[in-house]
Structure 1
């Protein structure tokens, strides 16, 4: 295993000797826990800033840390250009034909050159195609294009969902969420609204706050209706109609309606929901890098999306447990305009909050920019690591120097002149790193990226990269309640225009829907009350299990093995259907009341025998999932627990050897000082001996009474000089011994660190806890009407609340 493949260590490059500006053999290994105090990368075009950012993301993924990346230019999509076999044909689709023409070679020849360049570059940094293969195996890679069709779509405006309780219970967090959402939305309408003075902003903020306080989510239609007929009579102390007259409110409603009806608006309502947890992990719990490519958007659309995304990150963060280990990474490239020192765009408040609070939750924020003037320096006071490359102007350098001096105050800091010299001599791919967790700044050069740097990735190229995933429907889970046995999946019976007559004695319920024009299909619903208890696994939980099953006219009307869980609260079931709905025919056995009593007993037996409570266990640590926790969610939690245990063990090891290392470092410094003193004394003795011998020689040549004394003095000086030389050798020997002892201790510490294992991330053990037959009751068996919508090609899509199409 290469020296850099250490737990929790990000291999970013090699240390550079500031005296010679050349790379040394010392690896620059960045501690993953240091990233919880956030980082900033500053460097002009051509400085290597993009490569450093990709290095950081690659290393996070190698350590099992998921990444959410915002990509305004298209550079971060290069993370998907990873070719383990390093074949020319892998590079060929991504080489620039114009570059080949300028170089006087064919595109195929250029691809071969690029493949060889990457092979040599990786080898120079002790990497290979196998490390690339490992990277691809460890993480899932996805490119999203909100408001566009090239990559995976993101549903941003399908609705304004009520925040989780953690946000609702935090007045400041709720205010920021409302303000950011409304400011971004009005920005799409071209309205630059002051939250305190704009009546548009105040009205929309009150509409969102009112709905969310009642636990309701709003879609665009509901928001437009609320503008026309607000659910409250006054704003502040003024009547609504006086504060914002109906005629003026109608104009705002029309503006939003026009936005809703615009051809490009549908792209904002389709695709993955703005769910940060799903962006960070696949449903199976595999870490992801989700790249939000926004190069195709205009400025107002970018601001809207980024502010919505950052607020979603805040909401997700506040639902997580506290940790000192790195749980996830938020990377934002080209921060210009989103986090300025002056002004307060809607993206700035949530970013400031993240920089102040995310550390406690293990979320590391990394910001990258070409120009230091793009960054709010008050916010940067919460940033622990600065990586500074070549800067554009002397003014840029002066700003950074001033900020660095303030950031390094109280540490073993370099002088302004020293920092100035180091910044002035930075070459390509060379950065000055200031890390609050280290004693002093250090120069380093970045390693070769595993990803091929093809330049900004265009929309056409993103479409090519994501084509297979889009055709497969992304990684969205199957719609809840929809199974292979469901008529909705295999083609339902013909629908009648009128609702069939249901005889007395049959309980009839409707699964709630907020959609219009639905078709209801009849299925059997059995709601079981179940208790799962196990002293071995320390589990004792009770819950409700709604099951739906198809009913046929065959000899066995209900195939319970084909029953599916219906993820709808039984208390939310309704007694009437949606207006204007159509209905399917009802199978005859489902209309026989006697069958319902029999099916209740069958359902209870089926649940006891075939519907266990599934728990997951990480074999290494013995960590158990919580009841109802999905495998993917538990895998992500177990991975974090493993990193926490690893980081704690590393800190314990460092503390164990801290006093010994400190003693040896003190002895090393004294030995170095002793060598310097002995060398100075030896030089002085040699000089004095030379003078004495010179005087003696002159006396011998020209005579004089002091000739013999001078000669004796010269001989004596030679003896002293020899003794001083021996003292230098002794001091140097002692220095070497102490240095070796220190190196031995450091090697021992590193060996013990390397012996640690992450503990999670392998195969999980599946544990099934079955319910006793006496712990299962079925209080409700009913004819359930499940709503669907039918597309132009005849396919049916679940339309009940909570289902996904």
Structure 2
């Protein structure tokens, strides 16, 4: 394995000599652990900032580190344009044909020249097809587009999920979460609300706080209902009507409802749910590089989405165990407007909290901008690494210096302002200064060639072309009940006998324009399954809440189509006003049928349910009882990285003393050789002078006896010194060889550790436990009515 491919090290370029304007062959290897103290990248247009940041994300992918990349401009989609074969046909769909025309080339010719340019550029930096293929294989690369179906749509509006217990117990964190969530909603509505003065902000904050403290998720529909009918009658010491009259509350609810019901906003209501775990890892536990493209959104929508995303990331972070290794990355390509020095946009508070607290959880934040004066450099003093490219104005340089001074003071590192100013002034294109508080001093380097084709911002059509082949893999599966395209519906609610329990599943989403609400018959129950195996110390009751749509008849494989929910669905006693109903199967109007359906459900659970645990022999770690394979593999990657980093640190510390002593021996041997060698050449000079003196004496007819004796003596002394110099050189060579062997031994030991703890080499053993039939308990089987949104053609979508 070459130096540039060592796990735990990011190959970002090569060291550069500013004075000589030369780039050396020494690679700049940045320790992945250093990113846990965050990084900021600053550089004007043309500085090479985008190429550097994309290279950093490529390196993280090669190291198996998952990343969430927020893309306000559309450049990050280029990370999907990596072509191991580097063929012209790979580049042809992505080139700018107008650029080819300006260069006087056909599109095919321009694609061929671009392929050659990339092949040559990568080769100069020691990157070949194998490395590109490794990058493509290391992570899943996905482009998500909130509010759009161009990429993988992602919705944040189906639910305002209650934070995890870890966050609920943290009063300050909970307050920040509520404040930024309320600010995000109001920003979406175009309301500039001060958290202390705005009654809208205070009112929404109370609604969110009440629900979340009770552990309840809030659907958008429930949020609108709570605005109209709040779950409290006082705000502070004032009664609700005085603080926020009913008419004003209805006006706020209508604004939110109209926004969500607007056809232009329909894209926000459908798609993959916003889940940090799913953004970072696949269901199988493979790392993901998730690009959240928001270039197509307006300013208020971008602010809303970024705020919600950062809050979700904070909530996820606080559920993770602490670590000193790099667990995941958050990257934002252009942070301008989201972290200003003055003002308090909704995104600023959660971003500042991440910069202050994420280190303890192994979450690294990387922020990039070309507008240094528009960043809160006091907040960025939490960043341990600064990548600085060419800056446009003296004002930009002054603000960067200010931020560097703060970061150095925070880390207790030395900072030379004058030297830093001189270095920044001399930077050129693709030449960056890295100021890393973990290093002895700043380093100037030339950025490497990005493996991904940097073709400029991707259009929505280009994103769609990339995501269409894999779209179904990332969108949530629809329940089998929703597969039908038509839904028979009557206007009347079917009559249900009094001895049959009947409930209504709550409507959880706003109906799209042109749709009507139709209830279809279904079933739900509460089930407990007992898994016991003494040899593995397993004794666990697992709760299930089956939910299945029946339609107008009972299918033979009814329970095979059921969803097994982790919690009881929201049930009510009455339907929504004005809803239509489908037919009720005659069997469900008979109480005796529910007994046989209960028995069928018990049989189904006995046949299908298994408690699975996973064992990783390499680390001798077992999964938790309720931990899936993907989550376990995710945890194993982190454990392997932690174990690797800890053992490498130990090896480096152990060998450092030996290497320091060996280097001292080399220095002493070299000094001794230099002395002996100098004495040898002095003796040679004396001998030569004596010979010359003797020759001159012979020519002049003088006496030569004494001179011959002196020449012979000086020759003997020179020979003696030569022998001593040769012995000193041999001793020096031996010391250098011993040092080289010691360093090679250290490097080999470290490389063996990297191989040993490579997450891709981990194998898992599946350990399964089946329940006993007598340990399955099904209770409360009842008829439920499931709400669907049905359009004019009879096509239906679940509204629950």
TM-score (norm 2): 0.86
Once the two structures are superposed, what CA deviation does each residue of 1:765-797 show, in whole Å capped at 9, x if it has no partner? 443311122222333444444443334443333
For residues 441 and 726 of structure 1, the distance between their equivalents in structure 2, rounded to whole angstroms, comes to 45
1:533 alignment counterpart = 532
Q: Which residue of 2 aligns with 1:107?
A: 107
Superposed CA deviations along residues 399-440 of structure 1, whole A, max 9, x for unmatched, are 545654665579895855554554444333222222222223
CA contact (8 A) 1:62 1:138 kept: yes
Matched, 1:660 2:654: no
Contact 1:685 1:720 in 2 (8 A): no
Q: How does 1:335-354 map to 2 (within 5 A)?
A: 335-354=335-354
SS across alignment from 2:10: strand
Cα-to-partner distance string for 1:279-333 (whole Å, 9 max, x where unaligned): 2122332221121222233434333332222122111111222222211100111
Alpha-carbon distance between aligned partners in 2 of 1:33 and 1:351, rounded to the nearest angstrom: 20
Q: Deviations over 1:28-64 (max 9, x none)?
A: 2222222111112222222221111111111111121
Q: Which moved more, 1:601-610 or 1:744-753?
A: 601-610
Aligned residues: 786
CA displacement at 1:589 relative to structure 2 = 4.4
Residue matched to 2:521: 522
Residue 803 of structure 1: aligned partner: none
Structure-2 residue corresponding to 1:545: 544
- What displacement does 1:68 show? 0.5
1:531 partner SS? strand
Q: 1:682 to 1:158 in 2, by over 3 A?
A: farther
Query: Is the Cα–Cα contact under 8 Å of residues 383 and 407 in structure 2 kept in the other structure?
Result: no
Alignment partner, residue 428 of structure 1? 429
Tell me the secondary structure at the aligned position of residue 4 of structure 1: helix
Post-superposition offset of 1:637 = 2.1
Q: Judge conservation of contact 1:146–1:268 (CA < 8 Å) in 2.
A: yes
Contact kept in structure 2, 1:524 and 1:590, CA below 8 Å: no
8 Å contact from structure 2 (residues 272, 476) kept in 1: no
Cα-to-partner distance string for 1:98-134 (whole Å, 9 max, x where unaligned): 3222322212111001111111222222322232223
Measured in 2, the distance between the counterparts of 1:683 and 1:397 equals 55
Gap change, CA 1:443 and 1:622, over 3 Å in 2: same
Which residue does the alignment assign to 2:646?
648
Q: Contact conserved, 2:67 with 2:330, CA < 8 A, in 1? A: yes
Distance 1:210 1:744, change over 3 A: same
Equivalent residue, structure 2, for 1:162: 162
Which residue among 546, 561, 564 is the counterpart of 2:562?
A: 564
Is the CA contact 2:544–2:567 (under 8 Å) kept in the aligned structure 1? no
Structure 2, unaligned runs of 5 or more: none
Offset, 1:19: 5.6
What is aligned with 1:295? 295
1:312 alignment counterpart? 312
After superposition, where does 1:567-582 map in structure 2 within 5 Å? 567=565, 569-570=567-568, 573-574=571-572, 576-582=574-580
Matched, 1:742 2:739: yes
Deviation, structure 1 residue 581:
4.0
Note the alpha carbon deviations across 1:579-600, whole angstroms, 9 max, x for none.
Answer: 4444433444445544443444
Name 1:452's counterpart in structure 2.
Answer: 453
Query: 1: distance between equivalents of 2:204 and 2:591?
Result: 51
Q: Distance in 1 between matches of 2:259 and 2:552?
A: 50
Name the structure 1 match of 2:360: 360
Q: Which residue of structure 1 aligns with residue 210 of structure 2?
A: 210
Gap regions ≥5 residues in structure 1: 801-805
Aligned-partner SS, 1:28: strand
State the Cα distance separating 1:676 from its structure 2 match.
8.0
Q: Deviations over 1:574-618 (max 9, x none)?
A: 555544444433444445544443444444344334322233344
Distance 1:251 1:307 in 2: 24
Aligned to 2:475: 476
Structure 1 residue 341 displacement after superposition: 3.0
Q: Distance in 2 between matches of 1:670 and 1:422?
A: 36
Query: What's 2:610 paired with?
Result: 612
Distance 1:225 1:574, change over 3 A: closer
1:69 Cα offset (Å): 0.7
For the residues of structure 1 that align with 2:147 and 2:357, how far apart are their CA atoms?
A: 30
Q: In 2, distance between residues paired with 1:510 and 1:244?
A: 31
In the TM superposition, what are the counterparts of 1:122-141 in structure 2 within 5 Å? 122-141=122-141
Q: CA deviation at 1:715?
A: 12
1:597 matched residue in structure 2 = 595
Mapped contact 1:35–1:365 kept (Cα < 8 A): yes
- Distance change (3 Å), C-alpha of 1:765 and 1:550: farther
Equivalent positions of 1:60-459 (< 5 A) are 60-219=60-219, 222-223=222-223, 226-227=226-227, 230-243=230-243, 255-256=255-256, 259-260=259-260, 262-401=262-401, 403-404=403-404, 407=407, 415-416=416-417, 418-459=419-460
Q: Cα deviations across residues 690-743 of structure 1 (Å, max 9, x unaligned)? A: 9x99xx99x99xx9xxxx999999999999999999888777765554444333
Closer, same or farther: CA 744–14 of 1 in aligned 2, 3 Å:
farther
In 1, Cα distance between equivalents of 2:558 and 2:185: 48
Match of 2:50 in 1: 50
Tell me whether 575-584 or 33-42 shows the greater mean CA deviation. 575-584
The alpha-carbon distance between structure 1 residues 440 and 227, as it changes in their structure 2 partners (threshold 3 A), is same
CA separation of 1:732 and 1:434: change in aligned 2, threshold 3 A: farther
* Partner SS state of residue 390, structure 1: coil
Paired position in structure 2 for 1:466: 467
Partners of 1:127 and 1:548 in 2: CA distance: 53
2:748 corresponds, among 740, 748, 751, to 751
Shift of the 513–108 alpha-carbon distance from structure 1 to 2, 3 Å rule, reads: same
Verify the 8 A CA contact 1:522 1:585 in the aligned structure 2: yes
- Secondary structure of the equivalent of 2:211? helix
Over aligned residues, Cα RMSD in angstroms?
Answer: 4.1
Distance between the aligned counterparts of 2:441 and 2:723, measured in 1? 35
Per-residue Cα deviation, 1:76-97 (whole angstroms, up to 9, x for no partner): 1110111222111221122122
TM-score w.r.t. length of structure 1 = 0.85
Deviation of 1:475 (Å):
0.8
When residues 741 and 440 of structure 1 are mapped into structure 2, their CA distance, relative to the original with a 3 A threshold, is farther
Cα offset, 1:197, TM superposition: 2.8
C-alpha change, 1:669 and 1:342, in structure 2 (3 Å) is farther
Contact 2:80 2:141 survives alignment (8 Å): yes
CA distance in 1 between partners of 2:666 and 2:344 (Å): 52
The 1:44/1:763 distance shift into structure 2, 3 A limit, reads: same
Matches of 1:503 and 1:345, distance apart in 2: 56
Residue 796 of structure 2 corresponds to 796
CA distance 1:440–1:736, change in 2 (3 Å): farther
Per-residue Cα deviation, 1:377-416 (whole angstroms, up to 9, x for no partner):
3223221222222222344445545654665579895855
Superposition deviation, residue 180 in structure 1: 1.7
- For 2:777, the equivalent position in structure 1 comes to 777
Q: 2: distance between equivalents of 1:730 and 1:394?
A: 59
2: CA distance between counterparts of 1:374 and 1:264?
32
In structure 1, distance between residues paired with 2:630 and 2:423: 47
